[in-house]
Amino acid sequence: MNMVRAYAPGKAILFGEHAVVYGHPAVAVAISKGVQVSLSGSDSWTVGNRPLCPNRHPHLNWLVERNNLTDRPMSIKISSELFPAAGQGSSAALSVAAQLALAEFSGLSTDTVDAAITAHQAEAYAQFGRASPTDTATSSLGGCVVVSNNLSGTADTIFRASLETPEGVMEWDIGTVDLTYDDMPHIVLGHSGAPSQTGKMVSMVAELISENQEKKQDLDFIGELTLMGLVALRSGAWEAVGMTMDVCHEKLRSLGLSTPVLETLIEAVRPHSLGAKLTGSGGGGCMMALTYNPERVAQTIELSGGRAIITPMHCDGARVLKS
């Protein structure tokens, strides 16, 4: 086998960021940009033109060992369309694409659920035992994905993920929502230009609610909004989806997760959008808008100092690329 290629999309969180850490559901969609991984035979394991380093690429090193390929050296080439450290799931997409490529090379299963489970474990290894399956599941499955400790009929269950963390065993239900409606709006992502540091923002929220229990109510309310947003999504009620996004953003802002640049981008696009909010952990990274006028919104983001990506509401998940 001369070369193997695999592709995995990034993601955008519609509802539930941060609240998902405290047992509430999160809803994410795959986007039209992602990461491609190419493998070819080599004299040694390399990533780009550098040696595969366990410290620099712990998730890739873990996947090589997991697939029993340590003694079959390859060159790994990575091509990413995603903004780095922007809350678009670039690390998860890399893990998913790498797992599919390695499995294809080895003649093992390239089933997307298997890829999601294995990539989640790789991400957890790289993050010292802690990782939500949201990014890897969305990248693997594509479409609209719901992650919760109890789906309770809110989505069609696809698989269950579990992880042994320093705090104990965590379990999640992973489900999907069919968004194949006619005349769906688009999502436009706007990058603020500043990195989003997920670990730092999650720790900040944890400290905030430990000092002020009223802020925990904001997270609980985000959980309620997520369930409302799911009802709207399942019925194609896009104005209601947009309104839920707006209210969700206000709660995230009250938790100190927005920035002046994100606020500028969000306020700029609101006249042309059904709804707009930050997406991901906040403190930088991206905002998102739901709109029937994606070109106008993208132009507005660019004129306001951001960088825009237009993506459909429904995008395919990860796959091996055939020559």
Distance CA 258, CA 36 (A): 31
Residue-wise pLDDT for 112-147, tens only, equals 999 999 999 998 888 777 678 899 999 999 999 999
* Token output for 15: 């509802």
Residues 165 and 35 in one domain: yes
Residues 236 and 290 in one domain: yes
**CATH, residue 89:** 3.30.230.10
How many domains in the chain?
A: 2
Instruction: Judge whether 322 lies within some domain.
Output: no
Residue-wise pLDDT for 247-269, tens only, equals 999 999 999 999 999 999 999 99
Q: Where does a domain end: 115, 147, 180?
A: 180
Instruction: Judge whether 41 lies within some domain.
Output: yes
- In terms of Cα–Cα distance, which of 316, 266, 254 is closest to 10? 316
Instruction: Judge whether 323 lies within some domain.
Output: no
Residue-wise pLDDT for 287-309, tens only, equals 999 999 999 999 999 999 999 99
Print the domain residue range for 262. Answer: 186-311
Residues 48 and 159 in one domain: yes
Residue-wise pLDDT for 174-200, tens only, equals 999 988 788 899 999 999 999 887 778
Residues 212 and 263 in one domain: yes
Instruction: Judge whether 319 lies within some domain.
Output: no
What one-character DSSP code corresponds to residue 21? G
- pTM here is 0.92
**CATH, residue 229:** 3.30.70.890
- In terms of Cα–Cα distance, which of 253, 246, 214, 219 is closest to 232? 246
Residues 154 and 273 in one domain: no
Rg (CA), the chain: 19
The identity of residue 27, as a single letter, is V
Instruction: Judge whether 218 lies within some domain.
Output: yes
